Chain A
Amino acid sequence: MVAAAERSAQPAAATPARPRSSLGFRYSLPVLLLLAVGFIAPLVAVIAFSFVEPRSFDLWSEPTLANYRTIFEQTYYRSFLWSLAFAALTVVVLAVICYPVAYGLARVFGRWSNLVTLLFVLPLFISENVRLYGWVLFLIKGGVLLGGVKALTGIELTSILFTPPMIVFGMVYVYLPFMLFPMTLGLSMVPREVTEAAFDLGASRAQVFREVELPLAMPGIIIGALLTFVLGVGAIVEAKVLGGQSVIPITHDIEIAFTYAQNWPLGAALSVLLMLVVGVLVLIVLKRFDLDRILGRR
């Protein structure tokens, strides 16, 4: 911690503070402008739209709470709960699956870890619906798995496709890199000497994991968990392609309100509630971290 503080203090000490500070601000302006017009303003528009008369497209009408009333009177809370539960389950499964791989990338693979990283990065750039549809082809009746089993053994199995667990499966599959890479970053922040010292003092593998690795790698793990949770709550394709609409997550309700139902204000109100849940969570977590230390580890 002390070393990190010293390092971050260094550039400030080496350069005269005033001209630098204005330069940093000026360099940030293009990005700030983009985010003001492309991120903040649309969110404000959504919030404004959520107070418009149901089924209206006119932003400049008398504000009303009718949309929120509709949401609380109907069963939308079920979709919310499904979405949150699916996302939470995805985070837990991913944490368990990714830990050994992240440990390997940070500690075991050595010069091979670049190549392994590349293998895990590539799927990020293949559209998620292409990869999910690959699973449909793999798991469907007469597909690679069931067709293969039948050809080899003659046994006909029923497909597990289009059931709620498949939605979690798809989310685990799609969001794996988003857990893996922050976790690897976190684990590579654990100094080797500290683990060695713990072993030398007679700690067991389990003790080292519990008392040394896990706490020190926590910032990375929490960022990974947050990222996968947020993406999971916003997931839209998994439930349609793999879940076969067996469960309706909140993003579907929002999409339906915006498309078939043509009830934009209702969709906006649902989005506002989702944004509240996600936004509060993200702000609480991000506030606690020193980003310079996590990203700028040297």
Chain B
Amino acid sequence: MGMDAQQRRWVKPLIVAWTAAICLFLYMPVAAAALASLSQSRYFTFPVAKWSTVWWGKTFDSIQIRELIETSITIAMLVTAISVVLAFFGALAFARYRWRGRSLYQRLVLLPIFFPQSVLGLALLLWFSALGLTLSWQTAVFAHLVWIVPVATLVIAIQVYSFDPALEEAAADLGASRWQVLKEVTLPVLWPGIFSGALFSFLLSWGNFPLSLFTTGADSTVPEYLYAKMIAGYTPGVPVLGTVSTLGAAVLLLGGYGLITVIRRARGT
């Protein structure tokens, strides 16, 4: 025991310092982009000669950029709505029930996650064109679903694993129909998992680039537009839009997580 305590005395501060350094590393480029968005000159130089919010104004006034944001949000909202429903039942099949073929199903659900996304995007492009479909933001919704439904299924499944099946059985014994059990027992108990699944779905769709690149056709999402501008045609509008998309994700994530915490406390769990 003495040995252990001694070991930990120097291990702990080192781990804290290392973690802080990695965190700094993660957010460094985000901070650099935020700095660049506040520079007045068209080309970024550091130290910033003249600060200004002129590019923020220009970006928000642009109709093209408003359309991009609208497309991205529409795709993300549809993806969220559909994937939560599919993933809810998918997670019950994944973790709650023992059935033949379940282990095969579990591995099949994991496969799209363990798959290079750019290749998946191309495969979907080929498939859509073989079917004669015209690419648009609607085909991108489908492409996002192929990757995001498995992720949401996993997120909800983790909650399902800690779910006590006796609750459902008690309700059934008291005469509740299967639909009532689902609505009154299963859904409320699994709510935090479902909410995290929804949050993940929205944010992953909002930030996705490799799938959108090959499946949106003539439409464009925010990450696609940014990519095109990075390769050719930089303006400080690029870091502005990047920072806006970062802030949006941060607000949603922190807000969503705060909401879960508040509700959990109120429920006393």
Contacts and interface: CB of A to CB of B under 8 A. Distances in A.
A89 interface: no
B169 interface: yes
Contacts of A258: 122, 125, 214
A34 interface: yes
A55 interface: no
B46 A142 contact: yes
B253 A271 contact: no
A59 B29 contact: no
A292 B207 CA distance: 30
B166 to A, nearest CB: 7
Contact of B207 (A43, A125, A275): A125
A286 to B, nearest CB: 5
Q: Chain A: interface secondary structure?
A: helix
A142 B47 CA distance: 8
Nearest to A230: B114
B62 interface: no
Contacts of B115: 230, 234, 275, 278, 282
Given A118-B257, A271-B119, A226 B114 contact: yes
B249 to A, nearest CB: 4
Contact of B99 (A22, A121, A226): A22
A46 B226 contact: no
Contacts of A254: 118-119, 122
Interface in B69-116: 85-87, 89-90, 92-103, 105-116
Contacts of A45: 123, 126-127, 130
B208 interface: yes
Contacts, number: 313
B46 A295 contact: no
Contacts of B97: 11, 20-21, 23-24, 27
Nearest to B114: A282
Given A104-B16, A236-B210, A286-B107, A30 B250 contact: no
B63 interface: no
A126 B93 contact: no
B70 to A, nearest CB: 17
Interface in A10-51: 11-12, 14-15, 17, 20-25, 27-28, 30-32, 34-35, 38-39, 41-43, 45-46, 49
Interface residues of A, number: 103
Contacts of B64: none
B185 interface: no
A273 B29 CA distance: 34
A130 B245 contact: yes
A136 B36 CA distance: 11
Contacts of A121: 253
B208 A127 contact: yes
Given A20-B99, A129-B230, A137-B44, A271 B242 contact: no
Nearest to A33: B86
Interface stretch (A63-71, A73-81, A154-162, A194-202): A194-202
Interface string B143-173: 1011001100110011001100110010000
Given A35-B146, A124-B207, 12 more contacts: A17-B98, A21-B98, A25-B100, A25-B101, A28-B105, A43-B123, A134-B32, A143-B45, A199-B3, A205-B7, A258-B122, A298-B161
24 contacts: A11-B97, A25-B99, A31-B89, A32-B105, A42-B124, A45-B130, A49-B130, A116-B19, A118-B257, A126-B30, A126-B207, A131-B30, A148-B47, A173-B26, A202-B3, A205-B7, A205-B11, A227-B114, A237-B209, A241-B230, A251-B119, A291-B103, A291-B106, A295-B154
Interface of B: 1, 3-4, 7, 11-12, 14-16, 18-19, 22-23, 25-33, 35-36, 44-47, 85-87, 89-90, 92-103, 105-120, 122-127, 129-130, 142-143, 145-146, 149-150, 153-154, 157-158, 161-162, 165-166, 169, 203-204, 206-210, 214, 222-223, 226-227, 230-231, 238-239, 242, 245-246, 249-250, 252-254, 257
